[in-house]
Structure 1
Amino acid sequence: MTDSMIDWDFALTTASRMTKPGPEIASAEADQVVAELREGAARSEGPVREFTGLSAESATAPVLVVDRPGWVAANVSSFEVVLRPMLEKVQESARAKGQSPGRLGRTIGARVTGAEVGAALAFMSTKVLGQFDPFFTAPGPEGGLPVGGRLLLVAPNVVHVERELGVDTHDFRLWVCLHEETHRVQFTAVPWMRAHVQGLVDQLVDATDTDPEGISRSLGEASKAAGRFVRGERVSLMDVLQNDRQREIIGQVTGVMSLLEGHADVVMDGVGPSVIPSVRQIRRRFDKRRQGGGLLDRFVRQVLGLDAKIRQYRDGAAFVRAVEKSVGREGFDAVWSSPDNLPSAEEIEKPDQWVARVHG
């Protein structure tokens, strides 16, 4: 039984059953991959700090090398924390209107939504190479300050992609670590970043339409997603399940995430040539892979918003390069000084607007 709208245990069970196994690999080789990814994360700290000028204490957020089920378990835990306020708000609204279902109904509904979340996580667990989770919090060592965030590197996916691309394995693993280490530095060296992102999530919760009729209308729009996709339109559930206030907040989130993802790509390309001999080949083949996939794969990626993430890499990197060309590296670094200096989604596409607003 569960009192939550989502049965998180069932989500984990569903995802574990549906997650495809990773590539076949001997035990000794698997141990080598894990060790090399951990070493790559540690090796990346110095070059990333030197290139970006962002100073973060070493290992202020733990680095975990996980398999696909491990990634799923970590994200179920994070999703539960992030979504809890919104789910509680919906439940309170339903109870206030006398619409709360009985215990059996709650259990069945929670199982259904848990299965849906689990299925989505199972699909995504095969795609993610690495992830910085800013919402994770753990007690600090010996009663010190809490540890904020954690870096996840998904070993079987790294092996799968490096084999698919036919690139040097040692170079590719370090290349992935450079990108993800940049995210760790962004969130740990910029003291207000985690709180700002959490604040945007809280604003989304406040803007959530808990009226059953409103939710029904949103789901009705979502049901049209497949037809719009077949007609060649870009569509995401992240788009159709939003009211006006949510769209405004999503615009802020898009600006932040595009900046962080694009900046990490710029760092990879900037640091890469000095430490990764085959970096240009990796970049060329990896970018080509980002554009691939069959019809079903592309549809699922669009519905889950993964295509939007790919655009964030491209648009965010273009923003960083354009700003640095206009006002230099020091001028770009103004983005880290205050939440007010973060670019909006519109400014990501029009860097001159950001330069004019921040630098006059």
Structure 2
Amino acid sequence: MPNMPPGGFPFGDPQQMAQMLRQFADMMSAQTPSGQGDQSSGINWDMAKNVARHSVSEHGDPSVGVTEYAHVQEALRLADLWLNEATSLPSGVHTMEAWSRSEWVEKTMPTWSKLCDPLTARIVESMGQNLPGEMQSMAGPLLGMVRQMGGMLVGQQAGQAIGELAREVLGSTDVGLPLAGEGRAALLAPGVAKFGEGLGVPLDEVRLYLAARETAHHRLFGHVPWLRSHLFSLVEEYARGMSFDMSGLEEKLGQIDIANPEALQEALSGSEGEGLFQPQDTPQQKASLARLETTLALIEGWVSVVVDAAVAERLPQAASLAEAIRRRRASGGPAEHTFATLVGLELRPRRLREAATLWKALEEARGVDGRDAVWEHPDLMPSSDDLDDPEGFVSGRADAEAAQLDISQFTAERPEGDSEEGGSGGSGEEDGGRGGEDGR
């Protein structure tokens, strides 16, 4: 370990370290006088919002003009009407808005804090739990300062990541769920224009296509009540399995001048694109991440199928726009990188094409109503294995329902108490159960 003192404590005199931490906490607090840490996680989300807004304003953030606002509202309204022909789910939009980047930061921050808290809180907790024994022996006051320092650092990194994201997002649903609440559809005029650059597609057509995606997400979340909480639960499950290699923190602390708290801030901020700490892969994490990615893929796959059906005959460049979205998602757009910047979690629907294929197969076999009925309960949803065999999922589900229908007809037609026929009915039920299992 660099700079290891003779006494064996890698960070120098613990008292000096405590003084540096106090200075660092004072410095961070002075930078954001209105910021307060969240009571449950210790993360300073007011600081995060201030940092994000500052990041946006540095690059220029003009307000949305009256004409552009009207164009966005009209696109959202028209696209939402088109979706009526492509899905059985009714409109989920209550308000239609056009935002600047700063407005996006302001209106989505409450959801970001809820979504990120389980992950960032684990980082702050790890900072206290993984301190060397010499530092832990200084007991409560120092550990409290370490956690305060961690909350401020994570809040600052979160703000930087969200500020970068604000410069590239298209609307309120880029991460796969409505960040500003259900029913509040919005597009960012600068993001729409930037997305359309180089595509050779008229801006009005780009706006309509993105409006269809925005309103499709709101239909899904507005009428599938379990979906939003399910996604949050998967993120929390992932967070519970997180563990961190703190050797990088120890190395950084061992190399800095303890009399210079600014050096501590610079060292712990990390290089561009790196999180404060990188979580170690564990079997629990990998399993949780697989479930999260499957759910995100199913959401994005459904949206792409529904939107393509709604706009195919209305927008001449619909296929080109759909491919541009797929490339954006597959390569890891800004939304996917935000969590990775914070703690190494990417919200990327890696199996988007497989999910879209499954929804199309369901629609061909059961129609639009049958396809959308799968969203009625989480137990009906396809698994990761089903994405490997969409036809098996579709046929298995159909066989199970057919078997249940046969049982109902048999029960209604046969006299009660007929043991031989009752045995046949039991066999049919058993076959139906196997069909459903095979499909899953």
TM-score, normalised via structure 1 length? 0.73
Contact 1:255–1:345 (Cα < 8 Å) also in 2? yes
Corresponding residue for residue 407 of structure 2:
none
2:354 aligns with 315
Does 2:162 match 1:129?
A: no
1:115-147: CA deviations, max 9, x gaps? 21122212222332123344656xxxxxxxxxx
Deviation at 1:239, TM superposition (A): 9.8
CA apart distance, 1:18 = 2.6
> Which residue of 2 is the match for residue 17 of structure 1?
54
Is 1:216 the counterpart of 2:245 in the alignment? yes
What do the CA deviations read for 1:156-215 (whole angstroms, capped 9, x no partner)? 11011223323111111011010110000001122332333344344445x344xxxx32
**What percent identity do the matched residue pairs reach?**
25
- 2:159 maps to which residue? 118
Match of 1:169 in 2: 203
**Alpha-carbon distance between aligned partners in 2 of 1:279 and 1:67, rounded to the nearest angstrom:** 26
User: C-alpha displacement at 1:284, in angstroms?
Assistant: 4.7
CA deviation after TM superposition for structure 1 residue 267, in Å: 1.6
After superposition, the Cα gap between the structure-2 partners of 1:358 and 1:23, relative to the gap in structure 1 and judged at 3 Å, is: farther
Aligned mates of 1:163, 1:65 — CA distance in 2: 19
Q: Structure 1 residues 185, 13: closer, same or farther in 2, change over 3 A?
A: same
- Counterpart position of 1:337: 376
Kept after mapping to 2: 8 A contact 1:54/1:186 = yes
Q: Return 5+ residue gaps in structure 1 as ranges.
A: 138-147, 221-234
Matched, 1:51 2:86: yes
In structure 2, C-alpha distance between the alignment counterparts of 1:24 and 1:92, rounded to whole Å:
36
CA contact (8 A) 1:315 1:349 kept: yes
| Structure 1 residue 36: Cα displacement | 1.4
Distance 1:242 1:70 in 2: 36
TM value normalised by structure 2: 0.61
Cα distance in 1, alignment partners of residues 287 and 332 from structure 2? 31
Structure 1 residues 255 and 75: alpha-carbon distance in aligned structure 2, compared to 1, 3 A threshold = same
Output the aligned Cα RMSD: 4.2
Please list, as runs of the form range in 1=range in 2, the aligned pairs for 1:128-167 lying within 5 A after superposition: 128-132=169-173, 133-134=177-178, 148=182, 150-167=184-201
Over 3 Å counting, the alpha-carbon distance change for 1:64 and 1:202 in structure 2 is: farther
Q: CA 1:269–1:90 in structure 2 vs 1: closer, same or farther (change >3 Å)?
A: closer
Q: Look up the equivalent residue of 1:13 and give its one-letter code.
A: N
- Cα deviation digits, residues 12-52 of structure 1 (max 9, x gap): 22222333777898x7x843222211222222222213311
Shift of 1:254: 1.7
Aligned position for 1:268: 307
Moved more, 29-38 or 84-93: 84-93
Displacement of 1:309 in angstroms is 2.8
Shift of 1:92: 7.6
Counterpart secondary structure, 2:301: helix
From 8, 15, 38, give the equivalent of 2:73.
38
The more displaced of 62-71 and 279-288 is 279-288
> Who is 1:68 aligned against?
101
User: Residues of 2 paired with 1:252 and 1:238: CA distance?
Assistant: 23
3-state SS of paired residue (1:215): coil
Counterpart among 129, 150, 153 of residue 109 in structure 1: 150
- Stretches of structure 2 that go unaligned for 5 or more consecutive residues are 1-28, 30-35, 130-135, 250-273, 399-434, 436-440
Judged with a 3 Å threshold, the aligned counterparts in structure 2 of structure 1 residues 39 and 240 are, in CA distance, closer, same or farther, namely same
In structure 2, do the counterparts of structure 1 residues 17 and 326 end up closer, same or farther at CA, with 3 Å as the change threshold? same
Larger deviation: 183-192 or 326-335? 326-335
